[in-house]
Amino acid sequence: MKLHYTRGFIIYSKKMNEADLLLSYITEDYGKITCFANNARKSRKRFLGKLEPAMLTGIKFYEKPGMALDILYEADLIEDYKNLRKDVDIYLFLTKLTEISRILCQERDNNKNIFYLINNIFKGLDRIVTPPEDSRLRVSLNAVLLKYEIYFISNMLKLMGIYPNFSNCVGCSMDNLHNAFGFSLKKGGVVCKTCAEDKNGDFQYSEIKQLPVNFINLSDLMIESDLSIINKLNASEDILINCSAFLRDFLSFHTGKRLKSFEII
């Protein structure tokens, strides 16, 4: 067996029995990997306090030929984002990030930029000064988290090569000059009015969705900017909520899976 080392974030954890864990990581050097951690819940020296969500760890794991799972040997804490666990809204938000990463990323399909995207999101969230539960500023925190969500999903879709086509009609290639076209989840892009109403074509008018106001400009801006855009961007919470709902629908349709984290948050 060959021993590997890399940095990673846990995106999935499942108890296998009284002591063992099944863990999925997004890693810097190997993409998504799934490891079996033998006796992980009892081994204080190798794993205690190092297999929690919302922390960056250095992991050593064995790759055994013929086995689908890697074997986690040891984990070392690199960065403990303590502030992420102090606020329940931020911590719950991370469940969206981890669920989307788990569903979209394929095993050993390495894209370092996905790791760096998640790393930057964690750093940004850790710097947020969270208001008290009874403060009116909680509303502004929700808006900030929605911006992080849209930023993360838009950039993840771009890195995965499945960012929707908003520029041209997927039916006739007409330019979407004024961002006025509807959107086809089935086709993964915008559709002009003529194509949407063509009864002889592949489209059914009923499946064409109206995009949220300013969604295209907002999403395009997110993928063209670094994370500092979050603090500069002025958008109403209603618009952000609608944009989040569209991205949820797109992800659910594209993956064919129900996103449970969006239902509880």
Label residue 89 by pLDDT band (50, 70, 90): confident
Per-residue pLDDT, 88: 85
Sorting pLDDT into bands at 50, 70 and 90, what band is 134?
low
Q: What is the mean pLDDT of residues 118-146?
A: 81
Q: Are 1 and 35 in contact (CB under 8 A)?
A: no
Asked whether the beta carbons of 104 and 160 are under 8 A apart, the reply is yes
Condensed to tens digits (0 to 9), the pLDDT of residues 22-63 reads: 999 999 999 999 999 998 888 777 888 899 888 999 999 998
Residue 131 and residue 82: Cα distance in Å, rounded?
16
28 CB neighbour count, 10 Å cutoff: 18
Q: What is the pLDDT of residue 115?
A: 97
Q: What is the pLDDT of residues 101-112, one digit of tens each?
A: 999 999 999 899
Q: Are 52 and 10 in contact (CB under 8 A)?
A: yes
CA distance 230 to 125: 11
- Burial 228-263, CB ≥16 within 10 A → b, else e: eebeebebeeebbebbbebbbebbeebeeeebebbe
Domain 2-80 part of CATH 2.40.50.140: yes
119, pLDDT greater than 60:
yes
Q: Residue 170 in contact with residue 185, Cβ under 8 Å?
A: no
66 vs 169, which has greater pLDDT? 169
Alpha helix segments (H runs only) across the chain: 44-47, 88-104, 112-126, 138-160, 193-196, 215-224, 229-232, 237-255, 260-264
Task: Give the dihedral sign, CA 67/61/81/232.
Answer: negative
Residue 8, beta-bridge partner list:
27, 57
Q: Please state the domain extents for the chain.
A: 2-80, 82-163+212-264
Find the mean pLDDT for residues 193-202.
73
Per-residue pLDDT at 236 exceeds 80:
yes
CATH fold for domain 82-163+212-264: de novo design (two linked rop proteins) (1.20.1440)
- Checking DSSP bridges between strand 31-37 and strand 70-80, what pairing results, if any? parallel
What is the predicted pLDDT for the residue at 44?
A: 72
The position carrying tokens 């951690």 is 37
- Check pLDDT > 90 for residue 264: no
Tell me, what's the pLDDT at 199?
58
pLDDT over threshold 60, residue 9: yes
Q: What's the average model confidence in pLDDT over 173-193?
A: 92
What does the pLDDT read at residue 202?
A: 60
- Mean pLDDT, all residues of the chain: 89
Lookup: tokens for 204: 């059914």
Q: Which residues have C-beta within 8 Å of that of residue 80, sequence separation ≥ 6?
A: 55
